[in-house]
Structure 1
Amino acid sequence: MDEVFPDLYVGRIEDAGDPSLCHTRGIDRIVSLTFSDPEGGFPPSISVATFRMKDGPRNDEALFATAVEDVVTALETGERVLVHCTRGSSRSPSVAATAAAISEGIELAGSFRQVQRRRPETDPHDAVVRNAVAVFADLACATRS
């Protein structure tokens, strides 16, 4: 689990199921982007939002947008958020980078660079990056109005 922006973490499914790690990092909310829960379940005292996303071209852009909005809302209310997928390399860093760009008011490319620096295993599928670009354009424009 890596802190990619203040109060925003990216991790693997195992990280989301580790109560000790989540509590040490002060995680308030877990945004899950997988079709299954961690082997032992999620820590019971942490709120969980589940968005069953696929990696690659079959990923649903509307679901991606909803996950990003959930992360943005949680950050705006002062929560520490862990976004996780299976390996923490494609879906979760992409959702986190998009949410951080909107929350921080920065360019999406710069947000992706920071996520990559802080989580070297970041390697998003091209189709997921296309979702990020489209969602960022829609949501960033909406927040500026």
Structure 2
Amino acid sequence: MDEVVDGIFVGTESDASDEALLRKHGVDTVVSLTHSNPKTGDVTRVDVPMIDGPQNSYDAFTEAVSEVVEQRENGQRVLVHCSAGSSRSPSVAAAAITRLSETTLNEAFNQIIERRPETDPHDALVRQAAKSTEQYRD
């Protein structure tokens, strides 16, 4: 689990299930992008199941981004996770960062990659992030 910006973490399904790790980082909410149900203990879990790739629903993508933004705006520390923490969760986190700051999508991805080198988002998810960013800023 890596803190990619203040209060937003990107991680794996096993990170989401590690109550001690969640406590250590002060995570209040887990936004789960998998189709499984990780046990997050007493930490709030928001499920927005997504698929890694072009068959992913754009509505699910934008819902996940909105959940992260809403939680951060409410002062919550958020872990966004998928299976490996390399594609879905960094893509959602990057789009959320652009909505929460003056950061461009490219800058957000670069910051995430710097803090989480295993980041390797699917091109289709990068396109969804770009579309959601353009839609939000229009």
User: Is the pair's TM-score, using the shorter chain for normalization, greater than 0.5?
Assistant: yes
CA contact (8 A) 1:9 1:81 kept: yes
- 1:104 Cα deviation (Å)? 1.1
- 1:109 Cα deviation (Å)? 0.5
Amino acid at match of 2:5: F
Question: What is the aligned-residue RMSD (CA, Å)?
Answer: 0.7
Q: Which residue of 2 aligns with 1:64?
A: 61
Does 1:75 pair with 2:72? Answer: yes
Q: Return 5+ residue gaps in structure 1 as ranges.
A: none
Deviation digits for residues 33-74 of structure 1, max 9, x if unmatched? 000023xx222x111110110000101111100110110111
Amino acid at match of 2:50: M
- 1:140 Cα deviation (Å)? 2.8
- Supply the distance in 2 between the matched residues of 1:140 and 1:20 (Cα, whole angstroms): 38
Q: Which residue of 2 aligns with 1:115?
A: 112
What secondary structure does 2:69 align onto?
helix
Q: Identity over the aligned pairs, expressed in percent? A: 46
Q: Which residue of 2 aligns with 1:26?
A: 26
TM-score, length of structure 2 as denominator length: 0.98
- 1:77 Cα deviation (Å)? 0.9
- Supply the distance in 1 between the matched residues of 2:88 and 2:29 (Cα, whole angstroms): 17
Does 1:91 pair with 2:91? Answer: no
Q: Return 5+ residue gaps in structure 2 as ranges.
A: none
Amino acid at match of 2:108: S
- Supply the distance in 1 between the matched residues of 2:57 and 2:133 (Cα, whole angstroms): 15
- Supply the distance in 2 between the matched residues of 1:127 and 1:112 (Cα, whole angstroms): 14
- Supply the distance in 2 between the matched residues of 1:31 and 1:21 (Cα, whole angstroms): 15
- 1:106 Cα deviation (Å)? 1.4
